A and B are shown apart, each in its own frame.
Chain A
Amino acid sequence: MSEAMIIDPERLVLVRKTRKIGRPKLAKLTGLSERAIARLEGALNAKGDVPLATVHRIAIALQVRPELLTGQLPFTMAALLPTEVPDCCSCGTCTAH
């Protein structure tokens, strides 16, 4: 598994809205800045790969599998069901959350 992933901006917005979480709150939950969240959601320029650990942190905060955010998992009702995301994905590439 690569160390960097691309978050699907639209997915991130939809999942965040499903959870009824605003950008400020998601920023707080993930330790990212609001601008960083906005960038990931495509609201600002310069979007690109993000560290896997970041994807993971967001997934934990939004209670979804990281693959839903990256677009590898189909966007379904079942995928939106709040899920416990393990602290570590055991991929060996991320060292900090």
Chain B
Amino acid sequence: MKQALGHFDNPVPVYLLTGFLGSGKTTLLNRMLRTDAPRTAVMVNEFGDVPIDNDLFKVDGTASDLIETSTGCICCEPGNDIVSTLARLSEAMDNGEVSAVDRVVIETTGLADPAPIINQMLMSSHHSIAGRFFALAAVITTLDALKGEETVEERLLAHKQLAFADRVALTKADMLHDDPAGRREALAALVARINPSARILDIQDPLAQPETLLDHGIYAPDGRSMDVLAWLKDESPLAKAFGVQAPSQWLPGNRHSDVYTKSLVIEGSVTSRQVTTFLDILMRAAGDRLLRLKGLISLADDPGRPYLIHIVQGIFHPPQRLQSWPSQDHRTRLVVIADGIDEKALESFLLTLKPKKVRRSKS
């Protein structure tokens, strides 16, 4: 029997909406939340603004939305963290002050670094928040078609917002006048360089359905509802670049500024001890310059049950042992987004995860 939302088997999905100042987050939010949308709690975080109702929820009569406002930046101000805000939401639901919600959208300030927010969410996702369960579903980043490229070039923060996106909403593309097709291609190339796994949606496209940006979650940490392949989406570029039978390979480095992406696919299984050592050394040597690492690893003790690992800006999140592989491809895969780490050195190090020799598995 399907559990109601807000329980461990069926957590309330939380979407993080980020994007640089003026890139169209609020406009997108309004478009994503149609009147017939599932009941959504919206948490708006306006840096430095005077709150309308300090730390209180507002329920708008007919609309399905719930609004939380707070001052300060949720990525860096203690006491304004996502987890306590969600706990307050949970309490309000339990007390009957607000009815249950089907999902939560957190709109960050344009100057928020998404990494600490993602970390807060993922760290808390392994225990219940005030008796209820929320889970980070996806990071959506708005990219301004007019100024986005320049901003991303100049601002590391904008770069990171893009690097952490699962879905990129291209905004203001209707305002492109000089060679709009060419500009769109350039923007798509920009996203592909920084974050090849992100899905891009041009929200000005008449056929675009912005609400699909809030489709089912891909971060959901229970391993059952999670769409692992979507989360670890190095599949398609890999298939294009090397073909499915490719041995240990690199994706071409996606160099842009100091932030770049590396993907690795290796054959054979490794021991959990090797993985522990590998991650220990990687975390020590890379620190918070390791913006993100996503990995699906074939472990020698039970190669049928892959190990899912996730590091966000130097923080290692509780790994999971999946019940099975999400596809026929049982190779170990790693996707790394690095900031300013010597590229050759990182390549060289990542390859150390490769098993020395393929051992026969004991039957």
Interface residues of A (CB under 8 A from B): 14, 17-18, 20, 75-82
Asked if B342 is an interface residue, CB under 8 A from chain A, the answer is yes
Q: Can you identify 5 A-B contacts, CB atoms within 8 angstroms?
A: A14-B284, A75-B285, A77-B345, A79-B345, A80-B345
Contacts of A14 in B (CB 8 A): 280-281, 284
Report if B111 contacts A (CB, 8 A). no
For B346, give the chain A residue with the smallest CB separation.
A77
Answer whether residue B356 sits at the interface, using C-beta atoms and an 8 A cutoff.
Answer: yes
Indicate whether A20 sits within 8 Å of B281 (C-beta atoms), given known contacts A78-B345, A80-B349.
no
Q: Is there an interface contact between A76 and B356, defined as CB atoms closer than 8 Å?
A: no
Shortest 8 CB-CB contacts between residues of A and residues of B: A78-B342, A77-B345, A81-B345, A78-B345, A77-B285, A77-B341, A17-B277, A77-B346
Contact mask B320-363 → A, CB, 8 Å, 1/0? 00000000000000000000011011101100100010000000
Instruction: State whether A81 and B342 are in contact (beta carbons under 8 Å apart), knowing that A18-B352, A75-B284 are contacts in the complex.
Output: yes
Contact A20 B352 (CB under 8 A): yes
Q: Is the interface of A mostly helix, strand, loop or mixed?
A: helix
Q: What residues of A have a CB within 8 angstroms of the CB of B284 in the complex?
A: 14, 75
Q: What is the minimal beta-carbon distance from B352 to any residue of chain A, in angstroms?
A: 6
Complex-state Cα separation, A14 to B286, whole angstroms: 13
Binding site for A on B (CB under 8 A): 277, 280-281, 284-286, 341-342, 344-346, 348-349, 352, 356
Known: A20-B352, A82-B348. A76 touches B281 (CB 8 A): no
Q: Are A18 and B342 in contact (CB under 8 A)?
A: no
If A14-B281, A77-B286 touch, does A20 touch B356 (CB 8 Å cutoff)?
yes
12 extra interchain contacts, Cβ-Cβ under 8 A, other than A81-B344, A82-B348? A14-B284, A18-B281, A18-B349, A18-B352, A20-B352, A75-B284, A75-B285, A77-B341, A80-B348, A80-B349, A81-B342, A81-B349
In the assembled complex, how far is the CB of residue B110 from the closest CB belonging to chain A, in whole angstroms? 31
Query: Assuming the A-B contacts A14-B281, A14-B284, A20-B356, are A76 and B349 also in contact, with contact meaning beta carbons closer than 8 angstroms in the complex?
Result: no
| A14, A77, A79: most-surrounded residue (chain B CB, <10 A) | A77
Are A77's CB and B342's CB within 8 A? yes
CB-CB under 8 A from B356, the residues of chain A are 20
Q: For the complex, what is the distance from the CA of A93 to the CA of B123, rounded to whole Å?
A: 52
Q: Which residues of B contact A82 (CB under 8 A)?
A: 348
Tell me which residues across on chain A come within 8 A of B352, comparing CB atoms. 18, 20
Q: In the bound complex, how far is the Cα of B341 from the Cα of A36, in angstroms?
A: 34
A17 & B281 in contact (Cβ 8 Å cutoff) = yes
Task: Determine the distance from Cα of A35 to Cα of B49 in the docked complex, in whole angstroms.
Answer: 64
Q: Which residues of B contact A18 (CB under 8 A)?
A: 281, 349, 352
A76 surroundings in chain B (CB, below 8 A) = 285-286, 341-342, 345
Q: How far is the CA of A20 from the CA of B284 in the complex (A)?
A: 17
CA distance A81 to B285 in the complex (A): 11
Tell me the complex Cα distance, A91–B352, Å.
Answer: 33
Residues of chain A within 8 A (CB-CB) of B345 are: 76-81
How far is B187's CA from A15's CA once the two chains are assembled, in angstroms?
41
> Once bound together, how far apart are the Cα atoms of A81 and B356, in whole Å?
18
A20 vs B349: C-alpha distance when bound (angstroms)? 11
Please, which residues of chain A bring their CB within 8 A of the CB of B349?
18, 77, 80-81
Question: In the complex the two chains form, is B348's CB within 8 Å of A81's CB?
Answer: yes
